[in-house]
Structure 1
Amino acid sequence: MTQTPESLCQALIDAARKAGADAADAMAAEGSSLSIEVRQGALEHAERSEGIDLGLRVFIGQRQATVSASDTRAETIEAMAERAVAMAKEAPEDPYAGLAAAEQLATDWDLDALELFDPAEEPAPAMLQADALAAEAAGLAIEGVTQVQSAAAGYGSHAVHLAATNGFSGGYKRSSRSISCTAIAGTGTGMERDYDGDSRTFQSDLRSAADIGQQAGERAIARLNARRPKTGSYPVLFDERVSSSLIGHLLAAVNGGSIARGSSWLKDAMGEQILPDTLSVLEDPYRPRMAGSRPFDGEGLPTQRRAIIKDGILTGWTLDLASARKLGLSSTGNAARGIGSVPSPSQWNIALTQGHQSREQLLADMGTGLLVTSMIGSTINPNTGDYSRGAAGFWVENGEIAYPVNECTIAGNLRDMLRSIVPANDARSHLSRVVPSLLVEGMTLAGN
């Protein structure tokens, strides 16, 4: 009989009960991936992987333990359960650990509406190679591009199932299709590189390989002859390519795990104004064809649409069961987990309110300052929100791009930065984080 993720989860649950677990949940993920990379017009690397991974979490009272394996034999499943129970008996008690109550569980969902899996036939390796070659050729066709460091195309599909002794059982399948290209311009110490790529659930939504390669080449050319900017206090415009990182720092600060530990610069900010009153941060796990969409979370609870920030005001934390219990609240259906890890809070699809101006109009408004298109490194103080990152991009004078810049650092405090952000209207709606370019006034810039 063919072993499905669902049947494997049930076998794990049965083995856990037999081994003496008071309660248990199990995950099984079955998937395959294919990636093709080319270089100088020829195949550079091809990789295919297939496999099934199993994860089991057991409870002995308020003690828990997690084990994982990639072997589906019956004797392995039995050994996993015995080992997990033995580990749980030696683990410290956790008053907040435990499965969801039956009345909390998701019981009805519409996978067809989510469109998480592309029913089209898996692309052949030759098709992926053709896409990678087309991206490379388009990058090399840009005058000034000296080489394409890498051009790749890939496909992946996987099925995941979750089951528990509280009665929950559910699963779904996902697919992904991607193309990427990294181009290098210039020579010697003057070389610069940049990147473009696209990843979608459905092949039909994917941007063309030629467009991706061309964009990578043009971006690399634009970075040639970069200088270090002047040190001082200037407005900074975070390009749409990197602006989601700012909202990412905000999302990390409202994560229930950080709040429960008291290690967040927003731990006492519930009900306070965090963003301008025209902006909201919305979470929607039901957007079709999105990698961040899901009908239930990693503990079997229904996911939900919610406003994390509404009209600038912080309205709620992101909670799984454990962090919610510790804070005396209810889970928001945001538990994420890996095969071999316990659940932890995570956001799904996020969207920040877009503005009414284009990026070019914000550039004109900022006058003199920095347009950031890439960042490296990160020093974020989780308790104070102090922010410092290496940056590269373009110097702006009189509202127009003057020249490329690199080797600089931008710094500020996230509370101050977020309260003053001005959004453009250029967010890409197909991303899991829909965040436009963001203008921040008066950041400290360290350059020359």
Structure 2
Amino acid sequence: MTRTPEEISLALLDAARKAGADAADALVVDGSSVSVEVRNGALEHAERSEGTDLGLRVLLGKRQAIVSSSDSRPETLTAMAERAVAMAREAPEDPYAGLADPQDVARDWDLDALEMFDPTPEPSAEILMQDALKAEAAALAVEGVSQVSDAAAGFGTHRVHLSATNGFSGGYARTSRSVSCVAISGHGTGMERDYDGDARTFQADLRSPAEVGRTAGERAVERVGARKPATGTFPVLFDERISSSLIGHLLAASNGAAIARGASWLKDCLGEQVLPENLSLIEDPHRPRISGTRPFDAEGLPTRKRAIVENGVLTGWTLDLSSARKLDMAPTGNAARGVSGPPAPSNWNLSLTQGDKSREELLRDMGTGLLVTSMIGATINPNTGDYSRGASGFWVENGEITHPVNECTIAGNLRDMLRRIIPANDARTYLSRVVPSILIEGMTLAGN
């Protein structure tokens, strides 16, 4: 008889106790996914996967060990527990290891309000193939598109359950639905590519495949004739498609694990201004239908809405239990983990305050500079915040786009860059990271 993730996790805890563990938690994830790729109007690749993964963490005092498996038979659970306890006996002590206090764990949550699971029937492989074909056809219909390198559609569902000897037991299910397209314009050495895609929790919210394909095609055609820009100091406008990467660098620097190691350019900035005074960065793990939504974290602590940056001021770190103990602070309910590793701090849904101007108005205001729509590679110094990335996009003269550019590098220092960002008002509010286009003046640009 097939057992549920909850039943498997509780059986793992029972096996851990019998094997001699002082404390333990068990994470079980099961799910299925199907993906379809098409090329030249025909099926290129189709894949379906199903599986159950389980992880057990045991503690003997301050020693801990983790084992994982994809086999949930009773004899395997017993072997896992015995192996984990034996490993823990040989592990070095970690003074910061341990489960959450029982009084701190999440007790009540409303999964219906979070809308993490789409109850509509799973789409068939044929439906997914038709979506991918529609996206490909729409891209090829754009004048100037020479080929489509990839058009795909997919669906996935997974269930998660976490149980621990501190009394916590909770789980949830999540669905995802996606469509994407990569179009190529030009020929030979003059080929350019660009993409579009959409991924949603609910099928009904997904943008149409035709819109995705058409947008990918139009973006690829716009890049024809790209050349290197001038070298110098110019304003740079980060398009909404890639602007969240800037906020991602701030999140990485405010991660409790980095702070505890002393490897962060933000380590001495708590309570100081890191963004313009009119901007806040809000984390909200309870937004309905959003991919980063969850009622509790990977240590069973309740998730909550909080301001990481409020009116430009950095208010706190992103903490799991271990990093919070190292820093003598309270955890923020931000632990994430897989079945084979320990918890680590991670962020959920983020929103940056939007501005009062459109992207077009910011382009007009910037005069002459670079609109970045794609970035590759990165050299980020975690201790100083020095920033350098390869970029491509469009050159702007007198507030208007004149031609596409590529093979250039933009550079600056994150500490200085983030304090003078100017946001547009074009963020897509259905994303997990809601970040509009961002203008930063006076960046170093290396091209010709």
TM-score by length of 1: 1.00
The offset of 1:238, in angstroms, is 0.1
The offset of 1:2, in angstroms, is 2.6
The offset of 1:74, in angstroms, is 0.9
Q: 1:29-75: per-residue Cα shift (whole Å, max 9, x none)?
A: 11000000000000000000000001000001100010100011111
Instruction: Give SS of 2:151's match.
Output: strand
Distance of 1:244 and 1:404 partners within structure 2: 22
Map 1:9-408; keep pairs closer than 5 Å.
9-408=9-408
Instruction: Give SS of 1:275's match.
Output: coil
Q: Which residue type is aligned with residue 10 of structure 1?
A: L
Instruction: Give SS of 1:133's match.
Output: helix
Q: Which residue type is aligned with residue 212 of structure 1?
A: V
Q: Which residue type is aligned with residue 96 of structure 2?
A: Y
Distance of 1:233 and 1:411 partners within structure 2: 10
Q: Which residue type is aligned with residue 338 of structure 2?
A: G
Distance of 1:126 and 1:75 partners within structure 2: 40
Instruction: Give SS of 1:113's match.
Output: helix
Q: State the partner residue of 1:444.
A: 444
Distance of 1:149 and 1:13 partners within structure 2: 48
Distance of 2:102 and 2:23 partners within structure 1: 13
Instruction: Give SS of 1:25's match.
Output: strand
Q: 1:307-347: per-residue Cα shift (whole Å, max 9, x none)?
A: 00000000010000000000000100000011111000001
Percent identical residues: 73
Instruction: Give SS of 1:287's match.
Output: coil
Map 1:397-436; keep pairs closer than 5 Å.
397-436=397-436
Q: Which residue type is aligned with residue 445 of structure 2?
A: L
Q: 1:115-143: per-residue Cα shift (whole Å, max 9, x none)?
A: 00000000011100000000000000001
Instruction: Give SS of 1:307's match.
Output: strand
Instruction: Give SS of 1:122's match.
Output: coil
Distance of 2:218 and 2:86 partners within structure 1: 58
Distance of 1:9 and 1:249 partners within structure 2: 35
Distance of 1:407 and 1:83 partners within structure 2: 52
Q: Which residue type is aligned with residue 370 of structure 1?
A: L
Distance of 1:130 and 1:159 partners within structure 2: 27
Instruction: Give SS of 1:294's match.
Output: coil
Distance of 2:202 and 2:402 partners within structure 1: 39
Distance of 2:326 and 2:241 partners within structure 1: 36
Distance of 2:295 and 2:413 partners within structure 1: 36
Q: 1:5-44: per-residue Cα shift (whole Å, max 9, x none)?
A: 0000011000111111100000101100000000000000
Q: Which residue type is aligned with residue 436 of structure 1?
A: P
Distance of 1:74 and 1:190 partners within structure 2: 59
The offset of 1:389, in angstroms, is 0.1
Distance of 1:218 and 1:395 partners within structure 2: 17
Q: Which residue type is aligned with residue 44 of structure 2?
A: E
TM-score by length of 2: 1.00
Distance of 2:368 and 2:339 partners within structure 1: 49
Distance of 2:30 and 2:272 partners within structure 1: 44
Q: 1:399-420: per-residue Cα shift (whole Å, max 9, x none)?
A: 0001000000000000110000
Instruction: Give SS of 2:338's match.
Output: coil
* Structure 2: stretches of 5+ with no match in the other structure: none
Distance of 2:82 and 2:186 partners within structure 1: 60
Structure 1 outlier segments of 4+, above 6 Å: none
Q: 1:128-164: per-residue Cα shift (whole Å, max 9, x none)?
A: 0000000000000001101000100000000000000
The offset of 1:261, in angstroms, is 0.4
Q: 1:210-250: per-residue Cα shift (whole Å, max 9, x none)?
A: 00000000000000100100000000000000000000000
Aligned length: 448
Q: CA RMSD in A?
A: 0.4
The offset of 1:393, in angstroms, is 0.1
Q: Which residue type is aligned with residue 232 of structure 2?
A: G
